[in-house]
Structure 1
Amino acid sequence: MSTTGDVFVTLTLARGPSLTEQAAAHIRGRIVHGTLQCGEPLSELALAQELGVSKTPVREALLELKRQGLVEIHPQRGTFVFEMSSAQVVQLAEMRSILELAALRLAMDRNGQALSLRWAELVAAMDVAMANENTEDYRVLDGVFHQVMFDLAENQFLSETFTVIAFRIQALRNRLSLDPALNEKSHGEHKRLVALAAGGEAEKVAELLAWHIEWTRSSYIDLLGLPAGDSRSTRGGERRLKAGK
């Protein structure tokens, strides 16, 4: 703060992203979009060289990503992209259902018309992505479709809680979207959600959303090659996905 006579002027200094924030965003993007596979080892040195920075911001970035559930750090073993067993996928879906259904009810109660309009816009954009076979755009729009509920729920703490699992959900969603048939099914359900929301049928929207989350849970486990109750990680199944098997 500076002063001129009796006039006080507050100076706000703009700050760009730090090297740690930039490194975290880069690595997070590669994990979420599937460039880095589940269980893949991460080298601080290799990442630092790739980004043109020292190892310190990379190390700090990996600690942040650990807090977000995207990497696992094992002493004496190293750092790895996160892995999930089928039991953990089930638990993630349970938490997702609790949070998304709560967000949906608040959003419809407080901003029902805005939710309906925003969803309709997103589904229209999804139509274009599907017609152009643009999987990358579709999966981004899919994530935004679900995030909108939290934006319009107007509950800071609900949104912050969802952030804890949001990146892992998007990472799994991106792997699921490798199958065009599953994208078609997912898109059809989004359209039904829009139609029900436009009619103000809150309970039917909630029922369909709950079913949609349950279906994606089963699809994650099936595609990752993990029968229910299996404690194995996602890594083997993801390799089969990338190999087209």
Structure 2
Amino acid sequence: MKTTKIEQIGFGEQVYNHLKRMILSGELSFGEKIPEGKIATMFQVSRTPIREAIKKLSEYGLVETFPRSYSKVTSISAEQAKSIAELRTVLEKFALHLLIAKKGVDSTILDEMKELSDECISLIADEEQRGQAFMKDTEFHLKMIEATGNEYLYETYEKLDARIQLVRLNMSVTSETFISYINQHYEIINLIREKNEAKALTLIDKHIYKEFATIPYSL
């Protein structure tokens, strides 16, 4: 097997994606130590790309590192989850304001948002696909933020989104409730098309609160 520098850089990205998937799927639990040795053996790499991946994950709030010791999956308290929901509300309401204030919103983007919602609903019924359903939900909100054209807003939201996904691992929600939650996506899309900012802002408040309400307070 080749061990060029380019491959080492490639491995670093692979390790990052693998660890992120392990965390957001719940395979690695809150507070669980990152198994650096096991990952190094799996990818047949040194600890260097492992630590680079962990550093990147820590920048997104998914991992806590302890210098010269170990790293673990971030634990999020109920109070922190509430703070995340509050900041998320501010960012998404600002995004809606920017979108609706524009002279015209690209209908292609709104169609893509609808398609993501359709895909999400089709996945919800299968418990084994619940993680994928959450990902489609996430993509919907990221697409809405991206549509504003404000790169700094997107960058800020993307970093927060990693924590949003971490919080979602504690959601206790039935398929029916999840579907009703995603159905609000269609309402949001229609309100953007209609440029009804007042109703859109009220709905996004309810939308985010509805998700937060499904999270136990004893995380």
- TM-score, normalised on structure 1? 0.76
Q: Which runs of 4+ in 1 moved over 6 A?
A: none
Alignment of 1:22-171 (within 5 A): 22-75=14-67, 78-110=70-102, 111-114=104-107, 115-130=109-124, 134-171=129-166
> What is the Cα deviation at residue 159 of structure 1?
1.0
Amino acid at match of 2:18: H
Deviates most, 106-115 or 163-172: 106-115
Asked if structure 2 preserves the Cα contact closer than 8 Å seen for 1:68 and 1:167, the reply is: yes
Deviates most, 87-96 or 108-117: 108-117
* CA shift in 2, pair 1:21/1:127, >3 Å: closer
Unaligned runs of 5+ in 2: 1-5
> What is the Cα deviation at residue 178 of structure 1?
6.2
Deviates most, 151-160 or 126-135: 126-135
Q: Could you tell me which residue of structure 2 aligns to residue 176 of structure 1?
A: 171
* CA shift in 2, pair 1:52/1:108, >3 Å: farther
Q: Is the partner of 1:140 in helix, strand or coil?
A: helix
Asked if structure 2 preserves the Cα contact closer than 8 Å seen for 1:112 and 1:200, the reply is: no
| CA–CA separation in structure 2 for the residues paired with 1:21 and 1:139 | 23
> What is the Cα deviation at residue 77 of structure 1?
5.3
Q: Could you tell me which residue of structure 1 aligns to residue 3 of structure 2?
A: none
| CA–CA separation in structure 2 for the residues paired with 1:87 and 1:45 | 33
Identity %: 27
Asked if structure 2 preserves the Cα contact closer than 8 Å seen for 1:73 and 1:80, the reply is: yes
RMSD of the TM alignment (CA)? 2.4
Asked if structure 2 preserves the Cα contact closer than 8 Å seen for 1:39 and 1:82, the reply is: yes
Unaligned runs of 5+ in 1: 1-14, 227-233, 235-245
Q: Is the partner of 2:12 in helix, strand or coil?
A: helix
> What is the Cα deviation at residue 179 of structure 1?
3.9
> What is the Cα deviation at residue 86 of structure 1?
1.0
Q: Is the partner of 1:18 in helix, strand or coil?
A: helix
- CA shift digits 1:58-114 (9 cap, x unpaired): 012111111111001124652110111111111111111111111122123335353
| CA–CA separation in structure 2 for the residues paired with 1:178 and 1:41 | 27
- TM-score, normalised on structure 2? 0.84
